Amino acid sequence: MKATADAKMALFILSVCILLLFWTIPANVEKGSARLMPYLSVVWVGLFAFWLLVAGLREKPLQDKEEEAALIDKKDLGAGESRIVILLFMIWGVYIFLLPLLGFYTGGFLTLLASMRTLGKRSGKPLWVWSFGAPVGIYLLFEIVLQLRLPKGKLIETLLSVFAVS
């Protein structure tokens, strides 16, 4: 019997449940009534994952594929272009990682520039106007209107202090 995508997913979820039941919850939740809800939640997930597994195993893989294709078509999720999404995840992942260093404004400008280029805005005035304008807009909204200071980043603050001293 060949497993369908749903059956594989159910197996993965069941493994997570086992991990949660026998390791994560006992190690991170005090004994007693505090464990009631975490255990109940995992049992809930486990039961329905088992249901999904049974349903998945009883499905014919071909039929399953057809259904998934129909579902994807229905939701207009598309078929292959994950590369662009992964690239975007990476750009924004780097931005978040460097946030304490570059801050919201400089980091935002660079990230917008990279993201827009990745999404197809290769050149021209709009690329620069929006990349520069959006952080300026955020600065005006947060720092001027809402009076909320956003970190400018250690690098920028150091540079500013150097220039201020000199």
| Binding site residues, another protein, CB under 8 A | 5-6, 9, 13, 20, 24-25, 28-30, 32-34, 36-38, 40-42, 44-45, 48-49, 51-52, 55, 58, 63, 68, 71, 74-79, 81-82, 84-85, 88-89, 92-93, 95-96, 99-100, 104, 108, 111-112, 115-116, 119-121, 126, 130, 134-135, 138, 142, 146, 148, 150
Q: Which residue is it, tokens 């005090």?
A: 30
Q: How many other C-beta atoms lie within 10 A of the C-beta of residue 131? A: 20
Contact 73, 100 (CB under 8 A): no
Q: Which is nearer to another protein, 125 or 162 (CB)?
A: 125
Q: How far is the CB of 99 from another protein (least distance, A)?
A: 6
| Assigned token pair, 128 | 């620069």
Which of residues 22 and 92 has its CB atom nearest to another protein in the complex?
92
Contact present, 135 and 104 (Cβ < 8 Å): yes
